[in-house]
Amino acid sequence: MHPVNRQQLDLSLDLERINSDPHQGTETMILNLGPQHPSTHGVLRVVLELDGERIVHAEPHIGYLHTGIEKECEYRTYHQVVPLIDRMDYLSSLNEEMGYVLAAEKLLGIEAPKRAQYIRVMMCELSRIASHMVWLGTAALELNVSSVFMYCFRDREYVLDLFEMVAGARMFPRYFRIGGVMRDLPRGFEDAVKKFIDEFRPHWKEYHDLLTKNPIWRMRLEGTAVLTKEQCFAYALTGPVLRGSGVAYDVRKAFPYSAYPDFEFEVTTQTAGDAYARYLVRMAEMEQSLRIVEQVLEKLPAGPVIVDDRRISKPHPHRGLFVPPGESYVTIESPRGEKGYWVVSDGSNKPLRVRMRAPSFASTQAMPVLIEGGYIADAVVAIASVDPVLGDVDR
Amino acid sequence: MSVRNAVEGLSALIKGMSVTFRYLFEKPVTIEYPEIKRKPPSMFRGRHYLRLWEDGMERCIGCHLCEIVCPAQAIYVKDAPNPKDKKISKTPSYSVEFQINMLRCIFVGDCEEVCPVDCIVLSDEYELSGYTREEMIYTKDMLTEKHPGASGRDPMVKRGEARMDS
């Protein structure tokens, strides 16, 4: 009798276990989705436990894009924080700026002039369109509709051209200032916006033609990543995800900020709560954004665009912007949901603390609910449908 | 799938295909970049220049404001009193060294805005690249415009006092 090979022994034991197992030959597999995966919208890593094609367990890992922006804000003056804020949710920088600037203004007890507020609203809505264009383009690309991706990025570029005209930079405009906006709209800007709207409306219809009734698109999206109203509340989900589940909650209507009460728009909801509902909500939102932009162009009042106080309006280091002690919390409706800014001042020229409530963070923590029990191919749809921006998650 | 569903789906597919088919005959929206260069709008924030007075004297007075206000700490300024025999700027002090680290710069344009003498401006040049880190630190020689007005920036527009053309 020759000695038993250790490996052979293990193998035989394994076979014995497998033979006695009622689920013969099945075992789960761990798969990393991301962090370097084109469908994760950045650097989100989701550890998936798979049983065949089914996802048994999912665990999102964040922190691959941690920039320390919240901490960094404490070492910057109130004006210098704005370019940092730009880089959080890099797809809708102007919405981000809006929240911070409003929070700082609340601390200072000032209000931007009417014209500045109207310009801000217009910029935020254009930014929302640009952000939704990126979302639609990438979501479609992930489902292999690559032509829509090309068309969407074209329209996004047109919006960025408008930002470039106004502020001088495309992605990170740094246009909003505490107390107003950097400078007045350039000559010919109104016409450029009108031209954009005239071009975008037919394009928007084309996206509907391409996708909304397309049977493949519907089969992939309908019934995928369903979230009920209660689940949305439990995970603090806001924005298009919540509206897709039938709750008409929009910060622009619920807690109106800046000049939003002056404009008419509707909060669109869908009741299905699946990825298709979220798609429809976002498509409708773009139409509402266009409506707001048109109203701004109609009503845009004349006047100054920044408060008449050079200590506040200019980023001058010596005269400085010393903010009275206190704290303020402002929420805005970013394209991804409710974004909150909590700014604490200790009376110096630098904030003591700037804390953001990120909508993408909430949607990332809801990821397991969205994808567990579904197919692995649907995980991509689920991630795309909540539209997380990882710069927003890892501040 | 019922017949009605099939017909609806098919018509939707044809509708979508017609959109893509239409685009076959449209002019491309892209430009062939290195051959055709796009002119950025007048407010574009690109490469910096240090402007000169009309008589060729340096505008920079070495006040460090741009250095302090820069959120990315990209600027380094070293000031000194003007030499007695040959004045370089119109104030008692001038900048001996002026460096901008283009790898740090995030082009927010705050330096342009705080400058009390309208010296530093952001031009519309956007082709900024190099092979080494050292060559991306722009020195005063590189930043100072070759002749007065070479940067092509209007200080009135820069200060936001005029509503500029797009």
Percentage, residues of chain B above pLDDT 90: 14
Residue boundaries of the structural domains of chain B: 48-158
CB contact set of A78 (below 8 Å; sequence gap of 6+): A104, A178, A321, A323, A349, A350, A351
Mean pLDDT calculated for residue range B81-106: 88
Please tell me whether the peptide bond between B41 and the residue prior to it is cis, using omega within 30 degrees of 0: no
Q: Give the pLDDT score at A1.
A: 47
Q: Nearest chain A residue to B28 by CA: give it.
A: A154
Cβ contact B43–A215 (<8 Å): no
CB A56 within 8 A of CB A27: no
* CATH class of this structure's domain A77-358: mainly alpha
Mean pLDDT calculated for residue range B85-96: 85
- Using an 8 Å CB-CB cutoff, list chain B residues near A80: 69, 71, 110
Contact of B29 with chain A, judged by CB distance below 8 Å, is answered with: yes
User: What residue has token string 């920044």?
Assistant: A306
Cβ contact A84–B69 (<8 Å): no
Cβ contact B43–A172 (<8 Å): no
CB A83 within 8 A of CB B108: yes
Give chain A's radius of gyration (CA, Å): 24
The per-residue pLDDT string of chain A (395 residues; one tens digit each, 9 = 90 and over) reads: 455 444 444 444 455 655 666 655 567 888 888 787 777 777 888 888 888 888 888 888 888 888 889 998 898 888 888 898 888 888 888 999 999 999 999 998 899 999 999 999 999 999 999 999 999 999 888 888 888 999 999 999 999 999 988 888 888 988 898 888 888 888 888 899 999 999 999 999 999 888 888 888 888 888 888 899 999 999 999 989 999 998 999 999 899 988 899 999 999 999 988 899 999 999 999 999 999 999 999 999 988 888 888 778 777 766 678 888 999 999 999 999 899 999 999 988 889 999 999 999 998 888 888 888 888 888 888 888 888 888 888 88
Question: pLDDT tens digit string along B17-41?
Answer: 888 898 889 888 889 988 999 888 8
Q: Give the pLDDT score at A216.
A: 87
Cβ contact B44–A168 (<8 Å): yes
Cβ contact A164–B113 (<8 Å): no
Rounded-to-integer distance, Cα B35 and Cα B94, Å:
41
CB contact set of B99 (below 8 Å; sequence gap of 6+): B75, B76, B77, B137, B138, B139, B140
CB contact set of B158 (below 8 Å; sequence gap of 6+): B112, B113, B118, B121
Compute how many other C-beta atoms are within 10 angstroms of the C-beta atom of residue A360: 28
Contact of A169 with chain B, judged by CB distance below 8 Å, is answered with: yes
Contact of B116 with chain A, judged by CB distance below 8 Å, is answered with: no
Q: Give the pLDDT score at A11.
A: 45
Cβ contact B166–A172 (<8 Å): no
Q: Is A239 left (phi over 0), alpha (psi -120 to 50) or beta?
A: left
> B63, B69, B77, B104: best mutation site toward chain A, by most A Cβ within 10 Å?
B69
Contact of A300 with chain B, judged by CB distance below 8 Å, is answered with: no
Mean pLDDT calculated for residue range B101-118: 88
CB contact set of A171 (below 8 Å; sequence gap of 6+): A90, A93, A160
Residue boundaries of the structural domains of chain A: 77-358
pTM metric for this prediction:
0.89
CB contact set of A296 (below 8 Å; sequence gap of 6+): A118, A119, A121, A122, A125, A263
Give chain B's radius of gyration (CA, Å): 25
Cβ contact A318–B65 (<8 Å): yes
CB contact set of A280 (below 8 Å; sequence gap of 6+): A212, A244, A268, A270
| Out of B9, B20, B166, closest to residue A215 by CB | B9
Q: Nearest chain B residue to A209 by CA: give it.
A: B16
Rounded-to-integer distance, Cα A165 and Cα A174, Å:
13
Contact of B122 with chain A, judged by CB distance below 8 Å, is answered with: yes
Rounded-to-integer distance, Cα A187 and Cα B4, Å:
53
- Using an 8 Å CB-CB cutoff, list chain B residues near A157: 29
For A19, the token pair is 């033979």
Question: pLDDT tens digit string along B120-155?
Answer: 888 888 888 899 999 999 999 888 888 887 777 766
* CATH class of this structure's domain B48-158: alpha beta
> B26, B107, B110, B111: best mutation site toward chain A, by most A Cβ within 10 Å?
B110
